[in-house]
Amino acid sequence: MKISLYNSLSKKIESFNPLLGNQVRMYSCGPTVYNYAHIGNMRAFLFADLLQRVLRVVGNYSVRWVMNITNIDDKTIKSSKIGSDLWKPEMGEQTDNPLQNLSKFTLFYEDAFIEDITKLGINPKHIESLPRATEFIPQMQDLTRRIVENGYAYISDGSVYFNVAEWRKKDVYGKLFKIDFENFRPGVRMDADQYQREDISDFVLWKVAKPNEPFWKFELSGVKCDGRPGWHLECSAMERELLGLPFDIHTGGIDLKFPHHEDEIAQSKAGYGNDPTTFWCHNEFLFVEGEKMSKSKNNFYTLRDLLDKNIDALDIRFSMLSAHYGSVFNFTFNSISSARKARMRIQEFIYSLFDDNKTGKRKYDVEKLRNDIFVELANDLHSPKALAQLFAFINTVSTGELDLNSKTKLIVLFTELNDIFSVWEIKPETKEDISLPEEVVILAQKRLEARLSKDFKLADEFRQQISSKGYSVKDTKDSFELEKL
């Protein structure tokens, strides 16, 4: 099915077509591993996960999903320094080698991140690569050099800055985010990785080494520039190295539109002469009880905080799926308990499909239901509307009235849907039932109907046809069981 997505670049919903045949190349800005990820971060990763699953299952594409690990930036460096209260005994001893400390520190939070997303129903096997920024330093230096050589960056005191005023003569700066240049002062430099749009300035590509901080040797235009990459540069270099330019989709939270993604576009074009991607997709914010999360408001939660309150991670996943990624998601403890009820309601329905005592004669148009759900997902990942279709079905149909063929098809559908939603359990012992050939199930259904109308001759004929296909049929009260011969 064709997928459409809201593209932050055109600010419209567009029909999605990958650049290379059936393959989608997708890059997601990953975690900055300086602490446990909070549930706002998790929303961004769950959005990217939903997107790659819909592309695979609904769009029938093969997806190459890359998510970077920011293991060097202002925050990771500061937090891994001697004396930081974020250093834990499990990380080992701190040494006088800042790079070693940074590595031990960030690996600890990287492992925690993988553990957390796995609990949230993200399958790390779906991610082709989780590149660590520190493993792509030569590519970052190469990009810095290219931008300088092309005339869009300059060196100042060993650091390298992107020249925004010069770039604006060539291309738009402000493609994702309308920027007001009224207060822009050309040549003013910004060293911090994160800054506000009011502070628009020449942003840093490469930062000169500071005492007791990690650095790499780098000589540029005959000038000694030993130091480390700026955050924006990291993504530009890694995505090109791993996916090639331009790729298909870049994801991230809405807060990354400026400056991070705007700077990525400028860097890629100024250095490689290519746009990073054709689709920019951003998730909206997560609020807690109607407010922005902040430690001072005491409403700041990591996934672990919620698990400690005995909340099931899959209820968190399900509650986020119940809202569209493009609208603000208000996390409340009430919404979690409603999500749990709704998830369990569907879970019970799935279990009931395996109950032999609950089989009737009604043939349900499962193909239509599947299509209705997929249409909603294909329309800019409208998961709440897709779930509404599912609930409308569950609330009006009981398994007891469905014939076995419809039930088998529904099991197949739920297995497929779970490849997208990933919040249910499809009974493992049913695997064999699911793989029953449809024609055998239909013959068994016909035999059941004949038996119930007491036409035992016809029922016997169907039994012979079933066994000629390699299956035996065992009668139960008002249903049947099939077994491979």
Chain residues binding ligand AMP by CB under 6 A are 29, 31-32, 40-41, 43-44, 70, 252-253, 255-256, 283, 285-286, 293
Strand pairing of 189-190 and 159-162?
unpaired
Q: Which does 366 bind (CB under 5 to 8 A by kind): ligand AMP, Zn ion, none?
A: none
Within 10 A of 394 (CB to CB), how many other CB atoms are there?
17
Q: Which is nearer to Zn ion, 40 or 98 (CB)?
A: 40
Task: Say how far apart CA 306 and CA 43 lie, in whole Å.
Answer: 14
Rounded to 5 degrees, φ, ψ at 158 are 85, -10
- Give min distance, CB of 298 to ligand AMP, in A: 16
Q: Which is nearer to Zn ion, 79 or 268 (CB)?
A: 268
- By beta-carbon distance, which residue lies closest to ligand AMP? 253
Q: Which does 293 bind (CB under 5 to 8 A by kind): ligand AMP, Zn ion, none?
A: ligand AMP
Q: What torsion do the CA atoms of 451, 456, 461, 467 make, to the nearest 10 degrees? A: 60
- Give min distance, CB of 197 to ligand AMP, in A: 15
Q: Which does 354 bind (CB under 5 to 8 A by kind): Zn ion, ligand AMP, none?
A: none
Task: Say how far apart CA 392 and CA 44 lie, in whole Å.
Answer: 28
Task: Say how far apart CA 287 and CA 425 lie, in whole Å.
Answer: 29
Q: Which is nearer to Zn ion, 29 or 316 (CB)?
A: 29
- Give min distance, CB of 44 to ligand AMP, in A: 4
- Give min distance, CB of 68 to Zn ion, in A: 6
Q: Which does 286 bind (CB under 5 to 8 A by kind): ligand AMP, Zn ion, none?
A: ligand AMP
- Give min distance, CB of 256 to ligand AMP, in A: 4
Q: Which is nearer to ligand AMP, 36 or 471 (CB)?
A: 36
Among 39, 48, 235, 412, binds Zn ion (CB under 5 A): 235
Q: Which is nearer to ligand AMP, 317 or 407 (CB)?
A: 317
What letter does residue 129 receive in the DSSP assignment? Answer: B
Q: Which does 235 bind (CB under 5 to 8 A by kind): ligand AMP, Zn ion, none?
A: Zn ion
- Give min distance, CB of 235 to Zn ion, in A: 3
Q: Which is nearer to ligand AMP, 231 or 318 (CB)?
A: 231
Q: Which does 265 bind (CB under 5 to 8 A by kind): ligand AMP, Zn ion, none?
A: none
**Cα four-point dihedral sign 111, 35, 310, 39:** negative
Q: Which does 320 bind (CB under 5 to 8 A by kind): ligand AMP, Zn ion, none?
A: none
Residue type, 55: L
Rounded to 5 degrees, φ, ψ at 251 are -115, 165
Contact 482, 448 (CB under 8 A): no
For the chain, report the end-to-end CA distance as a whole number of angstroms. Answer: 38
Nearest to 76 by CA among 60, 87, 91, 65: 87
Strand pairing of 4-7 and 12-15?
antiparallel
Task: Say how far apart CA 266 and CA 169 lie, in whole Å.
Answer: 12
Q: Which does 443 bind (CB under 5 to 8 A by kind): ligand AMP, Zn ion, none?
A: none
Q: Which does 253 bind (CB under 5 to 8 A by kind): ligand AMP, Zn ion, none?
A: ligand AMP
The structure tokens listed for 265 are: 């576009």
Q: Which does 32 bind (CB under 5 to 8 A by kind): Zn ion, ligand AMP, none?
A: ligand AMP
Q: Which is nearer to Zn ion, 192 or 220 (CB)?
A: 192
Task: Say how far apart CA 266 and CA 175 lie, in whole Å.
Answer: 10
Give bridge partners of residue 473 from the DSSP assignment: 482
Give bridge partners of residue 38 from the DSSP assignment: 302
Q: Which is nearer to Zn ion, 101 or 277 (CB)?
A: 277
Contact 56, 62 (CB under 8 A): yes
Q: Which is nearer to ligand AMP, 68 or 278 (CB)?
A: 68
HSE value, Cβ hemisphere, 13 Å, CA-based, for 50: 32
The structure tokens listed for 47 are: 């959005």
Per rule CB under 5 A, is residue 29 in the interface with Zn ion? yes
Task: Say how far apart CA 406 and CA 336 lie, in whole Å.
Answer: 32
- Give min distance, CB of 273 to Zn ion, in A: 20
Task: Say how far apart CA 133 and CA 73 lie, in whole Å.
Answer: 9
Q: Which is nearer to ligand AMP, 225 or 339 (CB)?
A: 339
- Give min distance, CB of 42 to ligand AMP, in A: 8
- Give min distance, CB of 35 to ligand AMP, in A: 9
Rounded to 5 degrees, φ, ψ at 403 are -80, 165
What letter does residue 37 receive in the DSSP assignment? Answer: P
- Give min distance, CB of 392 to ligand AMP, in A: 29
Q: What does the binding site for Zn ion look like in residue numbers (CB under 5 A)?
A: 29, 235
